[in-house]
Chain A
Amino acid sequence: MVSPILLIAVPLGLAFAIPVLGLASKRVPRYVPVIAMLFNLVVSVSLLPHALKAPIVVRTAGWAPPYSIHLVAGPLGVLLSSLIALIGLLVAVYGIDYIREGAKVKYQILYILMLVGATGVVLTGDIFNLFVFFEVLCISSYALVAYRGDSTGVEAGAKYLIQGAIGSGLVLIGIGLVYGTFGTLTMADIAANVSSVGSFRLFVSLAFLITGFGVEAAIFPLNGWLPDAHSSAPSSISAILSGIAIKAGLYAIARVVYTVYGASSILPFLAVLGIVTLLIGEMCAFGQEDIKRLLAFSSIGQMGLILFALALASATGISGAVFLIVSHGLAKALLFLASGYMIYRTGSRDISSLNGIGKRMPIMSLCFTVGAFSLIGLPPFVGFASKFTIVRAVLGTGSTFFITLLAIGLIGTVIEGAYFLRIVQGFYFKPAPEDSPEQTEGKVPFSALVPVGLLAVLILTIGLFPGIVGRVLGPAADDLLDRTAYVQHVMGD
């Protein structure tokens, strides 16, 4: 068995090797992220069977927890790191030709760093490293949002930076409070001692952590940065931000609330918050004229649904949430990647300018349609299986409170259906605008068709055979729910 630490160390090493490699050949750097992510994918997937048996705890420098920095690669963590590596790999392939101008070498470095940050967040076992990896993720995404260097990009990046920095600050304060209380940063150790401390003091630290991570997790009302950042970033970065980065924030919240604090009594509050986020995201997405802004708002909506499902506190609910993380990651990455070349082709981000694109870019449009159908939750695509699991979990709880929230939340699905299907109609059944420029640079290279096509195939395949992911979901849910087992695994006997 390879050590999970390689998932962080190898890409990190490769990232810093890029400038050196860049001296040797100008063409090499663009392939480095592909190699790094391919490595991560292989390692993550090979770790999965081991993690399913028992979480893999990696100790560094020979110290046992709670004194060491350590990784805890449980089923949830490894599943998410596989997802990160998979989407990271596909987007890296896409980026080979998509990124044409600007500081290409820096792009590749930041790209790897961003993914390393996300991987670290889902694998780490101590709360301070959670913060560190979180910062790695956030800071590289601030830079990447502004990558193009145009005014909107820089403005969006700056806004993101301001809000993200405040979020990080709050997280840091929260961690400080925790450390002051318990004198330890190991999540398992805190979890073991949490019940011994008076509640209000602890709650303040929890509030700081939720708010801080909530900024990255795009929970309403903390998500003001998202529409600007996701829409102004290059499409490949938008795909990562929407497909992975915000999920890392949500993972952090779930880990803190479930494992560290065991604060199950605030879950109804989070469920309400989730439904509010869902509705607001979908309502805002409905009227958008800009395709990327629309996708960004749709991400907010989906994050709300994931949060709602996480807050159900049942094994099925969390399975559904994790499943939705996977299905939304695939679909949203697909949608951003496909729209990237559509925007190149038409030279505009207006949805109306994409009318009739189905004829000019048949494969991209078909894949986009698959992604959109999956997001709405139409069978036989993967989105259906995940939304189905969530609805099943809600009705399984039998609580009127959650069923009412679900009924409200389903309105969001209808709105989502309305705007996505309108776009699909435009692709195929509306005439192309007359002044649309036939830009040759929009010709889709092979390096873009492959990842987009693969994502569509994955969406369909997992939709038809949800068992592929389904087997991991149960253990992943237990990973979050079962605190005592987590503590035991990490702290040992």
Chain B
Amino acid sequence: MSPQAILITAFAGAGLVFLAGKVHSHLRDFLAVLSSLALVGLIAWSHGQYGPDNEIVYVPDFLGMELALRLNPLAWFFAIYIAIINAASVVFSLSYMKGKEKLGFYYSMMLLVNAGMLGIVLSGDFLSFYIFWEIMSWSTYLLISYRRGPALHAGMKYIIMSLVGSCAMLVGILSLYAQFGTLQIAELGEAIAGSSSGYVLFILMAMGIAFGVKFAILPLHTWMPDAHSEAVSPFSAVLSGVLVRMGMYGFLLVMYSIVGLKTILNLGAGFFNFHYILSWLGAITIVIPTFIALLQNDAKKLLAWHGIGQGGYMILGMAFGTSLGVAGGIFHTINHGSYIALLFLVVGAVEYRTGGVRDLNRLGGLIQRMPVAFFGCLVGIMGLIGMPLTNGFVSKWFIYKTLITEGHPFLAFMAFVGTWGTILSVYKLLHNMFLGQLPEKYKEVRKAPISMQIPILFFCFVIFLFGVLPGIPLRAIQGIQDTMGFAPLQLTMWGLASGAGALNMLNICFAIVIAFAVVLLLMRLGAKPRRVPQEDSYAAGSSVPAGKYHHSVEFYNPLYQMISPYLKDRVDQFYYWAADKAQGVFELTRRIYTGYAGTYVLYIISFLALLIFLQLAWEIW
């Protein structure tokens, strides 16, 4: 299947759904699901069809440049990942969004964002890349704003930072064009080989700002907590699961497909090596946001901060340029996509059934009311922590191994600290939503509708599948690494056969199953358990009347008080300060236009005088 057909389907789907929304709501929903699933099918079908047949020039002359599409292992891998998470979110939206206004707009924007992202990964030149990047950016902005209220502010914050990034990228791209006379990704790789390291660094910086904003690397992350928590939940899943990771795609493309492994590793000297600095940024991006996540009481904000923190792991894996590290970084990207999307959907399901509550201090005890959501949440946080049997374990294993074998104990330590923070904060998420006592008002909560359960269970399945059989995605990742010139890893279906970081998930799986069996056996041998109602709980030896005491309020309060003074988002504060000052300057500038004709005449005459003065003083002509 040619990349052109995929993109035409994607954009046409977005357009048709909007029109169908004017006709009938069922037709619209049907078309939305159909086109998102069709995309998954089309992309899956095109697996392995790489090569010159699928390098297509679709516009021969756009302002004198060729616009091209291409399909290669990297593009395919990201495309399928985008399409699957988007399709799951669209299915989830069916009941989540039911009865809300402007649904035609909502669905078509979901599909447009999807189409934009597919366009980015299928682009064969940087101009197409930029065009699709911008389409994705503005449609995301519209979709974030969709929820109204505080979402408007979040949307503005997002689009302004995104515009700054885009400007930087545009300068970078056109500087490449000015230098080499082409924007074809394949040709740039060869052309850039002889450039000075200063120039390469400039390109990496310019592009890095754009990718860094999307990727939410510190200090460019501040849009993300607001945007992710204010968007509607299915879109939060897309936003955090894939859209942010377009930054990862960009980094991979520029660092390894274009600039090349050799140049990257030799960029800079000693301590001020490019990939060294990038990995430290990654480490900081892990630690600080993860602990800020701990402080959040809004379930979606908590997840959003984790989205930033987990991005740090990907950067950390990718920055080192070893086969193991980059494989870990890429693998972590899709793993993170699967469980963060799952968690956002779970929070969305809870929100949907409880009437829009996502404040962790007001939830609790929903385990029996919403068992599937609970299971999804449990699997999701297991993945996020990186428990064995889940996919998060494998990718984190790769990343840790890389840090240790490359001799960076400090970075490894920061990564571990991040995991501890993750454990604490996601337990809070699970506990405060599902465990503890059930508040009186949630007695009547029903379980999530089937169209929500399907995506949730699907992601659970993926998490375990890739956790036990990591060979499936790793094969595809191997294909990407081959195109970038990395040494191949010794892969098996169960993990890594030999060398640094040998891993066999099958053995681990058996060990865990046996351990489970032993525990189960011991429990059977012990006293017979007695079933009690959920409200039957004790504190300090006496029973607590239902509704008197809620376990999940002010979780971790002492810890909170201890660490919160250190964890202010000073970057965000700085941006607000700068924006405030800038507005002050704007106000002052407006005073130039006094409204008095006399002043304006004075300006005109002064300008004439200035011109003549300039000539007299410096002979400008």
Contacts and interface: CB of A to CB of B under 8 A. Distances in A.
B441 interface: no
Contacts of B170: 388, 391
A417 interface: yes
B604 A163 contact: yes
Contacts of A406: 171
A470 B612 contact: no
Chain B: interface secondary structure? helix
Contacts of B135: 378-380
Interface stretch (B153-161, B340-348, B367-375, B403-411): B153-161
B611 interface: yes
B604 A166 contact: yes
A418 interface: yes
Contacts of A280: 589, 592
A491 interface: no
A210 B587 CA distance: 29
A211 interface: yes
Contacts of A16: none
B171 A263 contact: no
A162 interface: yes
Contacts of B604: 163, 166-167, 170, 211, 215, 221-222
Contact of A395 (B155, B159, B177): B177
Given A203-B615, A224-B599, A470-B63, A287 B590 contact: yes
Interface stretch (A66-74, A138-146, A425-433): A425-433
Given A380-B131, A406-B171, A228 B595 contact: yes
Nearest to B177: A392
B614 A269 contact: yes
Nearest to B599: A224
A384 B175 CA distance: 17
Which of A166, A283, A376 is most buried by chain B, counting CB atoms within 10 A of its CB? A283
B620 A428 contact: no
Interface stretch (A180-188, A407-415, A447-455): A407-415
Interface in B265-299: none
B167 A429 contact: no
Interface string B553-570: 000000000000000000
Contacts of B145: 425, 428-429
A210 B178 CA distance: 32
A425 B586 contact: no
B581 interface: no
B163 interface: yes
A266 interface: yes
A357 to B, nearest CB: 14
A158 interface: yes
Contacts, number: 161
Given A222-B604, A284-B589, A378-B138, A429 B148 contact: yes
Given A163-B597, A421-B156, A391 B620 contact: no
A388 B134 contact: no
Given A224-B599, A429-B152, A287 B583 contact: yes
A167 B603 CA distance: 12
A35 B609 CA distance: 45
A263 B621 contact: yes
A166 B592 contact: no
A19 interface: no
B163 A413 contact: yes
A417 B593 CA distance: 22
A265 interface: yes
A287 B606 CA distance: 27
A108 B18 CA distance: 40
A151 interface: no
A373 B77 CA distance: 32
Interface in B133-148: 134-135, 137-138, 141-142, 145-146, 148
A417 B138 CA distance: 11
Contact of B63 (A211, A385, A413, A428): A385
B140 to A, nearest CB: 12
Interface in B169-187: 170-171, 174-175, 177-178
B601 A163 contact: yes
B63 A388 contact: yes
A211 B585 CA distance: 27
A470 B64 CA distance: 9
A108 to B, nearest CB: 29
Nearest to B63: A466
A383 to B, nearest CB: 11
Nearest to A390: B174
A428 B393 CA distance: 44
B164 A414 contact: yes
A49 to B, nearest CB: 19
A389 B178 contact: no
Contacts of B592: 221, 280, 284
A22 interface: no
Contacts of B586: 283-284, 286-287, 415
Nearest to A286: B586
B510 interface: no
A422 interface: yes
A445 interface: no
A308 interface: no
B387 to A, nearest CB: 40
B608 interface: yes
Interface string B97-137: 00000100000000000000000000000000011001101
Contacts of A166: 601, 604-605
A207 B178 contact: no
Please name the 6 residue pairs, one residue from A and one from B, whose CB atoms are nearest each other, closest first.
A224-B600, A221-B603, A207-B611, A410-B167, A379-B131, A395-B178
Given A414-B167, A421-B159, 20 more contacts: A162-B597, A163-B601, A163-B604, A167-B604, A170-B608, A211-B604, A222-B604, A266-B621, A283-B586, A284-B586, A284-B589, A284-B590, A286-B583, A287-B590, A379-B135, A384-B131, A391-B174, A421-B155, A428-B142, A470-B64
Interface of B: 61-64, 102, 130-131, 134-135, 137-138, 141-142, 145-146, 148, 151-152, 155-156, 159-160, 163-164, 167, 170-171, 174-175, 177-178, 583, 585-587, 589-590, 592-595, 597, 599-601, 603-608, 611-612, 614-616, 619-621
7 contacts: A163-B597, A200-B615, A222-B607, A228-B595, A283-B586, A373-B138, A418-B160
